[in-house]
Amino acid sequence: MELLQSADLYRRAADRIPGGVHSNTRARAPHPIYFERADGAFLYDADGNRYLDFVLGNGAIILGHGHPKVQAAVQAVLSQGLTTGSETRLGVEAAERLLQQVPTAEMVRFANSGTEAVMHALELARSATGRTRVAKAEGAYHGWDSAMYVSAWPDLAKAGSADAPAPVLTHQGADAEISRRTLVLPFNDVAATRRLIEEHAQELAAVVVEPVMMDIGYIEATREYIDELRALTSRYGIVFIFDELLTGFRVAPGGAQEYYGVTPDLSTFGKAIANGYPVAAVAGRREFMEQARPGGPCAWVGTFNAHAVSMAAMCATLQTFEGGGVWRTLQERMSYLEERFAQRAAERGVQVTLRGRGGNFHWYFTDADVRDYRSAATSSAERYRKFAENAAARGIWLAAGTLSHHSLTIQHEEDHLDAFVGCL
């Protein structure tokens, strides 16, 4: 596969952009690939090579690249010249549509990225409780805030015991004092999590959980674990926050809170809610959302919040979700992929397990029961590398990291999934 244009773009970029990329996860060896267009389930790079895309903007593309209804909605608002810095009819409609999709939430406000949304949710929790510390699960990624970017893909040599994980600073740019105050919980360990929360309950403003941990692949919380978190946070007046940036509208039409039958106090949404356009949301109980009302105790401002282009894309995307057909299609594709992958693995005698739901999925080269970060970390990086190289040779675009996550759109057909399975 010829990559002359990408190589040239990298030479130009490396002198002007750190690492030649605007997000570190896009770095590749020997250089990043630079793309020029996308359509349906495919990406096209600067050299004209076509790739079957299973990364999909980290799960943001749910309807397929360039979906006609979304693109038409965006073109319509662009023709009106309205972009940002003011409230619009579209912002109201988008809020109504999201709350209709997530009936457990009472109010919503928009931001521009998942990191922003999580930061806002934590500020609402601190404002409402008067407390400052927060808790999160080991291995979970919730964005770049110093309180949250802790023990994300941690070095297990520094992570302490499994039942009382130590907070591991993820990068030197974080405020170490804030990061070390974050309480790290062992995902899916009910007894240890109960003990840690009870020990620190009077200090905790919020417990944040990704109900399905997707930045280390695809690992569902047990229902017992989620129920226990809901009970503990209610008992001690701690704000319970679901990070649904990836689970939203893929795990179930109403998000993971519908799947688990649990109502969190606040939730963050992003990625798939606008089919790739930049928008995120915080939604939840009125008493917490009202903390950010104008003149209220908690600040929330942003020039690009509820940007008209993103609102148009969001309204069009959420409209396609009505009736549940999108989710059913994704789940049908997911079931087919799981069945074919398991069959191929058995035929070839490969110890690997693929798991997923609603079009989000990942696979682990391990015989361990993957239920948390530590068990996921046993997956063979070498086997994953060989699989990814096999895929790249066949024009299939996968994430570079062993513990990443992958996605489907409604534009992926069975022959696309067969091509993926053939890489094993």
Q: What's the pLDDT score for residue 12?
A: 95
Q: Are residues 315 and 272 in the same domain?
A: yes
Q: Are residues 46 and 72 in the same domain?
A: no
Q: Are residues 47 and 80 in the same domain?
A: no
Q: Are residues 365 and 275 in the same domain?
A: no
For residue 229, what is the domain's CATH number?
Answer: 3.40.640.10
Q: Are residues 376 and 404 in the same domain?
A: yes
Set 10, 141, 225, 384: catalytic member: 141
Q: What's the pLDDT score for residue 278?
A: 96
Active site residue 384: no
**Low-confidence residues in the chain, pLDDT < 50:** none
Q: Are residues 54 and 93 in the same domain?
A: no
Active site residue 141: yes
For residue 359, what is the domain's CATH number?
Answer: 3.90.1150.10
Structural domain for 332, as ranges: 4-67+324-421
Set 45, 145, 215, 243: catalytic member: 243
Set 259, 271, 364, 384: catalytic member: 271
Count up the domains in the chain and report the number: 2
Q: Are residues 27 and 118 in the same domain?
A: no
- What's the length of the chain? 424
Active site residue 243: yes
Q: What's the pLDDT score for residue 1?
A: 79
Q: What is the pTM of this model?
A: 0.96
Q: Are residues 297 and 400 in the same domain?
A: no
Q: Are residues 53 and 101 in the same domain?
A: no
Last residue of a domain, one of 276, 306, 322: 322
Q: Are residues 345 and 251 in the same domain?
A: no
Task: Report the candidate in 166, 162, 163, 164 with the shortest Cα–Cα distance to residue 151.
Answer: 166
Last residue of a domain, one of 292, 322, 352: 322
Q: Are residues 268 and 335 in the same domain?
A: no
Last residue of a domain, one of 322, 348, 380: 322
Q: What's the pLDDT score for residue 2?
A: 83
Q: Are residues 194 and 53 in the same domain?
A: no
